[in-house]
């Protein structure tokens, strides 16, 4: 009896669930959340992973239901177990950040790996971060570069920046200024301010691109004013050393402080050095 149900019943259930989901999602897109809820819930209870994921989103965002993260996680977990790459990525993110659930980088990597292997771009980028930092896995720059490349090739600007940075430094890949410029240019064209800053550095240095200190400095300043801590640190260093702009220690301190406030350890170190020399 159970074997017959296992072979036959799910096909009918899946069809019914899909019908409910299609109609529910149509209402959801119109922001008719309360009307969409019973239809999406029927599909979710029928075992549809997409509907289960959508139920998680509705509880997470309080759309048509009271906001309830514990209920959201229940549905996300069901969706993830059913194969939804979106739900798997969300579960990875929740465990990585320790949001509602206990922080667990190993568990985060487990879910991210499932989604990344199916081509989910956000999961690929996050998995690369995990390998780069050694969060939940052994630190491995080669593996990090592999996953950044997969996400970068799908057009993810953050991963394109990271590929550019890795080619610039030679971490996980063979050092190549030309490849660094290629990936950074793709990311910068999509508005990644870190890429703009590093491209500015390469223009100043003439690495992989024709040297143009003036344009490079303008790109670094633009990125710094846009809030990039990397660029703020670089601008502070330029003012401290007087290598590109006129030396100005108070201005260097100002940019170092802005970068340090955003967690830049390099900026904090430079501020300490200035303090020890009596210049700050």
* Number of residues assigned to the chain: 280
Tell whether the torsion through CA atoms of 66, 71, 77 and 79 is positive or negative. negative
Tell me, what's the pLDDT at 122? Answer: 98
Backbone angles phi, psi at 64, to 5 degrees: 85, -10
Q: How confident is the model at residue 48 (pLDDT cuts 50, 70, 90)?
A: very high
Q: How confident is the model at residue 141 (pLDDT cuts 50, 70, 90)?
A: very high
Q: State the pTM of this model.
A: 0.86
Answer for the pair 117, 130: CB distance below 8 angstroms, yes or no: no
Average model confidence (pLDDT) for the chain?
93
Judged against a pLDDT cut of 60, whether residue 11 lies above it is answered with no
pLDDT tens for each residue of 195-241: 999 999 999 999 999 999 999 999 999 999 999 999 999 999 999 99
Element holding 191 (H helix, E strand): none
Tell me, what's the pLDDT at 210? Answer: 96
**Whole-angstrom Cα distance, residue 40 to residue 35?**
9
Tell me, what's the pLDDT at 18? Answer: 86
Structure tokens at 236: 């502070």
Q: Can you tell me the mean pLDDT for 80-93?
A: 98
Answer for the pair 126, 156: CB distance below 8 angstroms, yes or no: no
Tell me, what's the pLDDT at 14? Answer: 67
Tell me, what's the pLDDT at 171? Answer: 97
Q: How confident is the model at residue 4 (pLDDT cuts 50, 70, 90)?
A: very low
Fold classification of 9-83 is 1.25.40
pLDDT tens for each residue of 169-204: 999 999 999 999 999 999 999 999 999 999 999 999
Going by C-alpha positions, the residue among 190, 240, 248, 188 that lies closest to residue 215 is 188
Q: How many CB atoms within 10 Å of residue 126? A: 25
**Whole-angstrom Cα distance, residue 164 to residue 230?**
14
**Whole-angstrom Cα distance, residue 46 to residue 226?**
48
Higher pLDDT, 265 or 18: 265
Tell me, what's the pLDDT at 280? Answer: 77
Asked if 9-83 and 166-226 have one fold, the answer is yes
Judged against a pLDDT cut of 90, whether residue 279 lies above it is answered with no
Query: Where in the chain are the domains?
Result: 9-83, 166-226, 229-280
**Whole-angstrom Cα distance, residue 46 to residue 38?**
12
Q: How far is the first Cα of the chain from the last one, in angstroms, to the nearest whole number?
A: 80
Q: How confident is the model at residue 243 (pLDDT cuts 50, 70, 90)?
A: confident
Q: How confident is the model at residue 5 (pLDDT cuts 50, 70, 90)?
A: very low
Which residue blocks in the chain are alpha helix, DSSP H?
2-29, 33-45, 49-61, 69-81, 85-97, 105-117, 121-133, 141-153, 157-169, 177-189, 193-205, 213-225, 229-241, 249-261, 265-276
pLDDT tens for each residue of 49-62: 999 999 999 999 99
Tell me, what's the pLDDT at 244? Answer: 83
pLDDT tens for each residue of 251-269: 999 999 999 999 999 999 9
Backbone angles phi, psi at 101, to 5 degrees: -90, 160
Percent of the chain with pLDDT over 90: 91
Superfamily per CATH, domain 166-226? Tetratricopeptide repeat domain (1.25.40.10)
């Amino acid at each position: 009896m159970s074997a017959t149900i296992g072979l036959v019943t799910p096909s009918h259930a899946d069809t019914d669930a899909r019908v409910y989901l299609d109609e529910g999602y149509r209402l959801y897109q119109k922001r008719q959340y309360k009307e969409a809820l019973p239809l999406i819930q029927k599909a979710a209870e029928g075992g549809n992973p997409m509907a289960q994921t959508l139920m998680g989103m509705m509880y997470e965002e309080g759309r048509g239901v009271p906001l309830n993260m514990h209920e959201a996680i229940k549905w996300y977990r069901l969706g993830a177990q059913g194969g939804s790459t979106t739900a798997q990525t969300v579960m990875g993110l929740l465990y990585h950040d320790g949001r509602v659930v206990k922080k667990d980088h190993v568990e985060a990597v487990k879910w991210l790996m499932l989604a990344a292997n199916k081509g989910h771009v956000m999961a690929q980028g996050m998995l690369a971060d995990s390998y780069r930092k050694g969060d939940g896995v052994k630190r491995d720059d080669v593996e990090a570069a592999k996953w950044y490349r997969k996400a970068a090739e799908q057009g993810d600007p953050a991963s394109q920046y990271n590929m550019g940075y890795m080619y610039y430094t030679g971490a996980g890949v063979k050092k190549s200024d030309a490849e660094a410029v290629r990936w950074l240019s793709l990311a910068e064209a999509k508005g990644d301010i870190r890429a703009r800053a590093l491209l500015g550095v390469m223009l100043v240095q003439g690495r992989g691109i024709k040297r143009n200190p003036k344009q490079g400095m303008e790109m670094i300043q633009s990125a710094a004013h846009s809030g990039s801590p990397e660029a703020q640190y670089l601008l502070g260093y330029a003012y401290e050393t007087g290598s590109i702009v006129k030396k100005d220690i108070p201005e260097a301190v100002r940019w170092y402080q802005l970068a340090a406030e955003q967690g830049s350890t390099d900026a904090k170190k430079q501020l300490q050095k200035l303090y020890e020399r009596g210049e700050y």
